Structure 1
Amino acid sequence: MQKGEVPTVIIIGAGLGGLTLYHSLIKNKDKKEFNVKIFERESTPQDRWQGFHIGISGYGIKSLMRCIPPSVVSNLPKAMPDPVPGEYHSISITDHTGKVLMKPLIKQVKDFYEITNTHNGFILTYRDILRNVLCEGVPIQWGKKCTGYEETEEGVWVNFEDGSREFCDILVGADGVHSPVRKQKVPELEIFDYGVTFINADVAAPKHIMDKLLKIHDNCLCQKTLGLNGDTTFVALRLIPLENFKDKSEFHYRTTIALTYLTKFDEGPDRIKVDDNDPASAVEHAKFMIQKLRPKCEYTDIMLELWDLVPKSASTEQENYPFKTYNTIQRRKMQDINPLSVNSWKTSRVTLIGDAAHAMCPVLGLGANNAIQDADRLSQALLNYYSPENYISCIKTYESEMLKQRSADVLKSRSAALRQSSPVGGYFDILIRNTIMKIINFTINIYYYVNSFIFRN
């Protein structure tokens, strides 16, 4: 780029991080102007299911609000509606029978604006709708799968599967855990496999089932149960009835359900064959694993009821489904990427944000918030450029902070996930686990109370 020309930034990946970065660079054009292009490997916005319920925290909202223009802010309620009566935006953790072990006293908010003034609050959000909101007005170039890049002294050539090439001054990989950009930039960086399988889906859950769960979990919208064999179940919902649902006999709620278990349980003589491309087969597999790993009790029966609600066919049931699900059920390995697990990270015109740099397991709910914050910090760093000669120093400022903090977050999430996936043995092991959980809950709530008092004063 010649001095005085507008630098070109190419973003690979139109997920939450990539879209947030696009908006921020465009929004701040009065400070520094960029020619921003964003490419996505999917052919259309509907090619792939874009996620489930996620919790957006205070720091995630702060970054998002800094990055997006007012026109997009005005549409955020579509993805993160204001809390309604009866909702408690927190997490409840129980044993497999529904006995409460942990329930942090999360500060409740009236809307997403108020979260910016909290230190521990969050609001449960529809990830797919948030992505749709961030897509509005963005000239995404669809069907452009990046296969690699070539760095020169003048800039970066980006190569695509269709044979085309694009030139830019700065390349940002926001293309997820299997990022081609990361694989080339840091080829030594490996994905860490937990030895845990994760299955999740969205269902339309009837009120009578939700009433049972909300009573057990005291209206918490995020509900986790710990089994005896390293297995967990997870439920997340908003108490906002689905409109125009075909069953008018009672309210139904969009609900995310998940099951995790040690992958080794997929082996053995009693395993059943599962076809991940067949929703019905995947549902039966999830139910089989619950019955295999959980003692029969009322809570187990409720989980089986929920899994039986998952659409069994992507082709025949989708048309009448209240929310679009392109992959009705997903089974995958629980993995992460610790960016500081290698020493070969070299700052250049190519950088990474979100899962491309530091994919995390979903246990602590940090992934989406961190991707949004990455976009915010990178855009703020790039606003400090004054010539092509200092692009790399601006990127280094971002990467130095990102690598240190995200590595800590990855390891914290990993530690929590591995602890919860550890099987417990007899009565005394269960007693010790439950006692530790209750002590941790007490400590967390004391910490939250003290901090709330400090912030209030």
Structure 2
Amino acid sequence: MQQKIPTVIITGAGLGGLSFYHALIKNKDKKEFNVKIFERESGPQDRWQGYHIGINNFGARSLINCLPSSVASNLQKGMPNPIPDVECHGFSLNDHMGNLLLKPPSKQAKDVYGVANASGFSAIITYRDRLRDVLLENVPVQWGKKCIGYEETEEGVWVFFEDGSKEFCDILVGADGINSPVRKQKIPELQIFDFGITQINADVAVPKNLIDRFIRINGNSLFQKTLGLNGDATFIIYRLIPIEQEQEQNDKNEPHYRTTLAFSYPTKLDDNVENDKIKVDDNDPASVIDHAKHMIRKLRPECELTNIMLELWSLVPRTAPDSDKYPFKTYNPVQRRQMQDINPLSVNEWTSSRVTLLGDAAHAMSPVLGLGANNAIQDADVLSQALLNYSPENYISCIKEYENEMLKRTSADVLKSRASTLRQSSPVGYFGAIFRNNFMKMINVMMNTFDYDFFSRK
């Protein structure tokens, strides 16, 4: 008698959920599943799809493992090949004046396959929204289906949706983000950790002259962070690939580049905002942009780097822009957000069952080390490989194999990212900054002398 094809339901069509979908379909000749994927958004462009991200060795390797050749052949749409002798796909850390503190060694690669096969640390700065579009191609996502809970039985799992419908499956994979209803039901004691750090993010189109000024001060790494004296930090992530878009008459001849900005500071500093007579309404992007610029002026010294940061934030759209002139498909209104993470090993024990978690639902982490998306994609790879041994008798052991690996790997990355974030966000003052900066410069010399990145996963 022919064995019934098991059904796997994925809740969440982000990078992790979509990578997992493709991995199961790619391996159907080894083990066939009936795969269904549900997403709470009403459509693929319903919601803003994230900033630039860095895909590192581990993420690139897993992404290639997950994707069939027909999808992998389109990866360049989301992660264009590095431009030789122009782009430096790496990370640098500078002080508030633009002086270099850290620039870990990074192997420059020709494409995502070169990143995956690099012997040392390597990464490629990627357009998250376009990468998601690539992963969505020909995937039958069922949109407007928000999972609100499930009921596990001996035969399988009933999955319940907000619209009143329900679906039955053999395995449920919650890939539905940091506020995952699946996680809240499966492991209610797994709590979100709040850093006490406020972060403001934005996507902008930056003219070449401003990027050139920034590079002259801060160097040519495509992912850069600067540290202030008061626990404040700025981020800028960009690609030196001109945007194809309609531009105003006076700047048609100047290239513009897709750029992600972020500014963070200790949340307690917001308590002083009222004293400065600055009103911030997180439902009003213009007021949040003004607030970010006010905090930069307040926390940073007058210098060229500060002026550039203020100019960058002045480019952020204050209202929904003309889509013909905006290089991102969906406008993301600028808001203050709290930096949070989840350590999956902060609970005593996970009980493996027909229900498991993937990506931010299990292990949301600080963006400081750029490990979140990479771990979600690696989850998809590891879980899909574990399920190749699926049978009605041993499904628990398959899930347990995945969870044991995932928990150990991601807990280490969550805690490493958390420690780095808390260390860098601690106010140090003038004399503390001298010690911090000299210590980081010493580490930088050691890393580059021995061609060894202390911070990347080995």
Match of 1:260 among 258, 264, 282: 264
Residues 147 and 210 of structure 1, relative CA distance in 2, 3 Å threshold = same
Quote how far apart the aligned CAs of 1:185 are: 0.4
Aligned to 1:311: 317
Aligned to 1:442: 445
Structure 2 Cα separation of the partners of residues 310 and 294 of structure 1: 20
Q: Is the 8 A contact 2:16 2:379 kept in 1?
A: yes
Aligned to 1:26: 25
Q: Is the 8 A contact 1:245 1:252 kept in 2?
A: no
Aligned to 1:370: 375
Alignment pair present for 1:361 and 2:360: no
Structure 1 Cα separation of the partners of residues 278 and 47 of structure 2: 27
Quote how far apart the aligned CAs of 1:449 are: 5.2
Structure 1 Cα separation of the partners of residues 453 and 9 of structure 2: 45
Aligned to 2:13: 14
Q: Please give the secondary structure, in 1, of the residue aligned with 2:117.
A: coil
Quote how far apart the aligned CAs of 1:117 are: 1.6
Task: State the percentage of identical aligned residues.
Answer: 68
Structure 2 Cα separation of the partners of residues 54 and 285 of structure 1: 25
Structure 2 Cα separation of the partners of residues 254 and 221 of structure 1: 11
Quote how far apart the aligned CAs of 1:333 are: 0.6
Q: Please give the secondary structure, in 2, of the residue aligned with 1:98.
A: coil
Q: Please give the secondary structure, in 1, of the residue aligned with 2:301.
A: coil
| Aligned residue identity for 2:43 | T
Q: Please give the secondary structure, in 1, of the residue aligned with 2:345.
A: coil
Q: Please give the secondary structure, in 1, of the residue aligned with 2:298.
A: helix
Structure 1 Cα separation of the partners of residues 159 and 236 of structure 2: 41
Residues 418 and 450 of structure 1, relative CA distance in 2, 3 Å threshold = closer
Question: Which of 281-290 and 10-19 deviates more?
Answer: 281-290
- Could you tell me which runs of 5 or more consecutive residues in structure 2 were left unpaired when the two chains were aligned: none
Alignment pair present for 1:417 and 2:421: yes
CA RMSD of aligned residues (A): 1.6
Q: Please give the secondary structure, in 2, of the residue aligned with 1:310.
A: coil
Aligned to 1:329: 334
Match of 2:436 among 429, 433, 437: 433
Residues 203 and 342 of structure 1, relative CA distance in 2, 3 Å threshold = same
| Aligned residue identity for 1:332 | R
Aligned to 1:186: 187
Q: Please give the secondary structure, in 2, of the residue aligned with 1:325.
A: coil
Alignment of 1:9-408 (within 5 A): 9-84=8-83, 85-118=85-118, 119-246=120-247, 247-268=251-272, 269-270=275-276, 272-314=278-320, 316-385=321-390, 387-408=391-412
Quote how far apart the aligned CAs of 1:3 are: 7.3
- Could you tell me which runs of 5 or more consecutive residues in structure 1 were left unpaired when the two chains were aligned: none
How many residues are matched? 448
Q: Is the 8 A contact 1:186 1:344 kept in 2?
A: no
Quote how far apart the aligned CAs of 1:319 are: 4.4
| Aligned residue identity for 1:358 | H
CA-to-partner distance for each residue in 1:266-300, whole Å, 9 max, x for gaps?
11222622222222122111111111211221111
Structure 2 Cα separation of the partners of residues 113 and 382 of structure 1: 25
Q: Please give the secondary structure, in 2, of the residue aligned with 1:116.
A: helix
Residues 450 and 15 of structure 1, relative CA distance in 2, 3 Å threshold = closer
Q: Please give the secondary structure, in 2, of the residue aligned with 1:419.
A: helix
CA-to-partner distance for each residue in 1:356-403, whole Å, 9 max, x for gaps?
000001000000100000000000000012x21211110000001111
Q: Is the 8 A contact 2:105 2:121 kept in 1?
A: no
| Aligned residue identity for 1:19 | L
Quote how far apart the aligned CAs of 1:239 are: 0.5
Quote how far apart the aligned CAs of 1:122 are: 0.3
Residues 208 and 235 of structure 1, relative CA distance in 2, 3 Å threshold = same
CA-to-partner distance for each residue in 1:243-274, whole Å, 9 max, x for gaps?
13413131111111100100011112226222
Structure 1 Cα separation of the partners of residues 342 and 281 of structure 2: 27
Quote how far apart the aligned CAs of 1:71 are: 1.0
Structure 2 Cα separation of the partners of residues 20 and 443 of structure 1: 37
Residues 394 and 278 of structure 1, relative CA distance in 2, 3 Å threshold = same
Q: Please give the secondary structure, in 1, of the residue aligned with 2:389.
A: coil
| Aligned residue identity for 2:282 | D
Structure 1 Cα separation of the partners of residues 197 and 328 of structure 2: 28
Query: Normalising by structure 2, what TM-score?
Result: 0.95
Question: Which of 190-199 and 246-255 deviates more?
Answer: 246-255
Structure 2 Cα separation of the partners of residues 449 and 371 of structure 1: 25
CA-to-partner distance for each residue in 1:280-327, whole Å, 9 max, x for gaps?
12211111111121122111110000000001111x534431222331
Q: Is the 8 A contact 1:188 1:344 kept in 2?
A: no
| Aligned residue identity for 1:263 | T
Quote how far apart the aligned CAs of 1:448 are: 2.8
CA-to-partner distance for each residue in 1:332-368, whole Å, 9 max, x for gaps?
1100000010114211100001100000010000001
Q: Is the 8 A contact 2:104 2:453 kept in 1?
A: no
Question: Which of 320-329 and 70-79 deviates more?
Answer: 320-329
Q: Is the 8 A contact 1:3 1:388 kept in 2?
A: no
Structure 1 Cα separation of the partners of residues 333 and 259 of structure 2: 13
Q: Is the 8 A contact 2:204 2:259 kept in 1?
A: yes
Structure 1 Cα separation of the partners of residues 449 and 356 of structure 2: 40
Question: Which of 361-370 and 441-450 deviates more?
Answer: 441-450
Q: Is the 8 A contact 1:347 1:392 kept in 2?
A: yes
Quote how far apart the aligned CAs of 1:447 are: 4.4
